[in-house]
Structure 1
Amino acid sequence: MKRRPDNPDKPKRSAYDKALGLLARREHSRRELKTKLRQSGYEGEEARVAIDRLGEQHYQDDERFAEVLVRSRAAQGYGPQRIRAELKTHAVSDERIRQLLEAADVDWEASALDQLRRRYGGKAAPDPAERARRAQFLLRRGFAAATVRRATHAQVDDAADPID
């Protein structure tokens, strides 16, 4: 059995055990597991065999990973562009990304308005410069320009409505 360089008395865990430990904490894509195993010093073939075995046992599933990622990022208030970019880093196809975002059934405009309320309170932007800052905030979170425009102008329109 291999010994760990940092502690020669303790045997090194197998790539399978290491990957299983990572998956016990949260879902990971195949690509992400491969990278983490390589960084931990596991050779390519050993890592590939371990990831294949985890897939066969349904511990690792790229479909499940992608669905969980979309749901969690949308719940965290990120927009579709940001989620799309993150899924691309995990080698999810454009067609599958489109399907996942549609299946998520998120009201992106409501999500953008919620992010503005959480960050800036219920007050409308006092001037165009502040509205631009708020728009940039939403764009960085991954909302489409049209959604950002509607959300930032909706705040202005809502502030102009008299309260009965």
Structure 2
Amino acid sequence: MMESPLTPQQLWDCALRLLSRRDHSRRELAQKLRQRQFDAELIELALDKLEQQQWLADSRYAAVQVRQHIFKKHGPLRIRVELQRKGVTQADIEQALEEEAPDWFELALACYRSRFAFADRLDIKEKARRVRYLQSRGFTSDHVRYALETPPE
């Protein structure tokens, strides 16, 4: 017995179910729908319709993701990479970062202090470990230097 092809209505229902849980980028939603064996042309039509009805918006997705990453104390480099990976345009990414506009230096410092205890002297190995940690969180070398060199209050 052959399986019947998936219908446009099933595709629409699936897309809405996914969007009801959380925002997705267009690329991310398309990928999830392809994994469920829906037709590529039907997926594009559905995504266009979802965007027209403003149920799917990369700019809104970017804004939400930027806020979540900042809450997790991630730096601007990591946020940009994660959003690019999800297919968000450079313009949407920059706008979302600009709208949030956190003080990246203070965020790097908060991230650093939440992870490491203050030490008067750090040997080179320990300092390198701390630098790598902040870099892995997406902070620039200027942010890292600020976090390491700011004395405790």
TM-score range, shorter chain: 0.7 to 0.9
Amino acid at match of 2:118: K
Counterpart for residue 37 of structure 1: 33
- Partner secondary structure for residue 14 of structure 1: helix
What stretches of structure 2 of length at least 5 have no aligned partner? none
Which one has the largest radius of gyration? 1
Q: 2:130 aligns with which of 129, 134, 138?
A: 134
Partners of 1:42 and 1:69 in 2: CA distance: 27
* Number of equivalent positions: 150
Q: Is the 1:139–1:148 Cα contact (8 Å) retained in structure 2?
A: yes
| RMSD of aligned Cα (Å) | 2.5
Matched, 1:123 2:118: yes
Displacement of 1:100 after TM fit?
2.2
What stretches of structure 1 of length at least 5 have no aligned partner? 5-10
Runs of 4+ in 1 over 6 A off after TM superposition: none
Amino acid at match of 2:57: D
Identical amino acids, percent of aligned pairs: 40
Matched, 1:84 2:80: yes
Q: Is the 1:112–1:148 Cα contact (8 Å) retained in structure 2?
A: yes
Shifted more, 111-120 versus 72-81: the winner is 111-120
TM-score calculated relative to the size of structure 2: 0.86
Amino acid at match of 1:78: H
Deviation by residue 1:25-76 (Cα, 9 ceiling, x = unmatched): 1100111110010011111012112222222222111111111111111111
TM-score calculated relative to the size of structure 1: 0.80
- Partner secondary structure for residue 63 of structure 1: helix
